[in-house]
Chain A
Amino acid sequence: MPLSRSEPEPTPSTLPLNVQTPAAGPRGTAAAVVGAVAAAAIMLIVALGKADAVTGLLTAAVLVALGLVLSFRTTTRAAAKSDMPIDAAAPPPPDPGDVQTYVSALELAPNPILVVSAEEPDDLAGRRIAFANASARDLLRVAREGALLVAAVRNPNVLEAIDESLFGGIDRVVAYEAGGPQNRFWRVRTNPLPGTPTRPRLALVIMQDETEIRLNERMRADFLANASHELRTPLASLTGFIETLRGHAKDDEVARDRFLGIMGRQAERMARLIEDLMSLSRIELSEHIRPSGVCDLTVAVADVADALAPQLAAKGVTFDFGLPAKGVAWVAGDRDQLIQVVQNLLDNAIKYSPVGGVVKVEVDVGLTLDAAAAFRPDPRRLSAPDGGRMSLQTPTWSADVRYAILRVADLGPGLARETLPRLTERFYRVEGQKSGERSGTGLGLAIVKHIVNRHRGGFLVESAPGHGAVFCVYFPMTPSQIGSQPAAKNDRNIPFTESSAREEIKLS
Chain B
Amino acid sequence: MRARIASESIVDMSTNEHTLKFFGEELNQLKAEVARMGGLAEAQVADAISAVSDRDVSLAESVVGRDRRLDLLQHDIERKSIRLIALRQPVAQDLRRTVGAMKMASILERTGDYAKNIAKRALVISEAEPITPLTRAIERMGKLVAARLKDALDSYTSAELDQAMNVWQNDEEVDEHYNSLFRELLTYMISDPRMINSCAHMLFVAKNLERIGDYATNIAEIVHYEVTGEEIMGDRPKWSGVAREDADDSDLEA
**Which of A's residues lie within 8 Å of B, judged by CB?**
123-125, 127, 141, 143-144, 146-148, 150-151, 153-157, 159, 177, 179-181, 183, 358, 360, 369-370, 373-374, 376-380, 382-383, 388-391, 394, 396-397, 399, 409, 411, 417-422, 425, 462, 467-468
Residues A376 and B39 in contact, CB atoms below 8 Å apart: no
CA distance A273 to B179 in the complex (A): 30
Residues A418 and B11 in contact, CB atoms below 8 Å apart: no
Residues B46 and A151 in contact, CB atoms below 8 Å apart: no
Q: Is the interface of B mostly helix, strand, loop or mixed?
A: helix
Residues A124 and B33 in contact, CB atoms below 8 Å apart: yes
Given contacts A150-B32, A379-B244, is CB(A409)–CB(B251) below 8 Å? yes
The reply on B157 being an interface residue by CB < 8 A is yes
CA distance A390 to B179 in the complex (A): 12
Which of the residues B46, B157, B173 comes within 8 Å of A150, measured between beta carbons? B157
Residues B249 and A181 in contact, CB atoms below 8 Å apart: no
User: Residues of A contacting B39 with CB < 8 Å?
Assistant: 150, 153-156, 159
CA distance A419 to B180 in the complex (A): 7
CA distance A148 to B173 in the complex (A): 32
Residue of B nearest to A320 (CB): B251
| Nearest Cβ on chain B to A380's Cβ, whole angstroms | 6
Q: Of A180, A358, A411, which is in contact with the most chain B CB atoms at under 10 Å from its CB?
A: A180
The reply on B154 being an interface residue by CB < 8 A is yes
Residues B35 and A148 in contact, CB atoms below 8 Å apart: yes
Residues B158 and A388 in contact, CB atoms below 8 Å apart: no
Which of the residues B29, B150, B172, B251 comes within 8 Å of A179, measured between beta carbons? B150
Can you give 21 contacting A-B residue pairs, CB < 8 Å?
A123-B29, A141-B158, A148-B11, A148-B31, A150-B36, A151-B35, A154-B36, A159-B36, A179-B147, A373-B170, A374-B242, A376-B249, A376-B251, A378-B243, A378-B249, A379-B244, A380-B254, A382-B239, A388-B239, A389-B239, A391-B170
Which of chain B's residues 202-243 have a Cβ closer than 8 Å to chain A?
A: 239-240, 242-243
Interface size grouping (class) on chain B: 35 or more
Residues B28 and A125 in contact, CB atoms below 8 Å apart: yes
1/0 per residue, CB under 8 A from A, across B147-179: the answer is: 100110110011010110011011011001101
CA distance A370 to B165 in the complex (A): 10
7 tightest CB-CB pairs across the interface, nearest first?
A: A154-B39, A150-B35, A377-B243, A147-B11, A151-B157, A397-B166, A125-B28
Which of the residues A150, A360, A390, A397 comes within 8 Å of B251, measured between beta carbons? A360
Residues B46 and A179 in contact, CB atoms below 8 Å apart: yes
Extra 8 A-B pairs, beta carbons < 8 Å, given A124-B36, A179-B146: A124-B29, A124-B33, A127-B32, A154-B38, A155-B43, A159-B39, A382-B239, A468-B252
| Nearest Cβ on chain A to B125's Cβ, whole angstroms | 20
Residues B176 and A390 in contact, CB atoms below 8 Å apart: yes
The reply on B183 being an interface residue by CB < 8 A is yes
User: Residues of B contacting A370 with CB < 8 Å?
Assistant: 166, 169
Residues B147 and A421 in contact, CB atoms below 8 Å apart: no
**Which of B's residues lie within 8 Å of A, judged by CB?**
4, 9-11, 14, 25, 28-29, 31-33, 35-36, 38-40, 42-43, 46, 136-137, 140, 143, 146-147, 150-151, 153-154, 157-158, 160, 162-163, 166-167, 169-170, 172-173, 176-177, 179-180, 183, 239-240, 242-244, 246-247, 249-254
User: Residues of B contacting A154 with CB < 8 Å?
Assistant: 35-36, 38-40, 42, 153, 157
User: Residues of A contacting B167 with CB < 8 Å?
Assistant: 397
Given contacts A143-B11, A148-B28, A179-B146, is CB(A156)–CB(B251) below 8 Å? no
CA distance A422 to B179 in the complex (A): 11
Residues B32 and A125 in contact, CB atoms below 8 Å apart: yes
User: Residues of A contacting B9 with CB < 8 Å?
Assistant: 143
| Nearest Cβ on chain A to B225's Cβ, whole angstroms | 19
User: Residues of B contacting A397 with CB < 8 Å?
Assistant: 151, 162-163, 166-167
| Nearest Cβ on chain B to A172's Cβ, whole angstroms | 17
Residues B46 and A177 in contact, CB atoms below 8 Å apart: yes
Residues B166 and A180 in contact, CB atoms below 8 Å apart: no
| Nearest Cβ on chain A to B135's Cβ, whole angstroms | 13
Which of the residues B11, B36, B172 comes within 8 Å of A390, measured between beta carbons? B172
Given contacts A141-B158, A388-B176, A421-B180, is CB(A377)–CB(B252) below 8 Å? no
| Nearest Cβ on chain B to A398's Cβ, whole angstroms | 8
User: Residues of B contacting A399 with CB < 8 Å?
Assistant: 4, 160, 162
CA distance A151 to B136 in the complex (A): 32
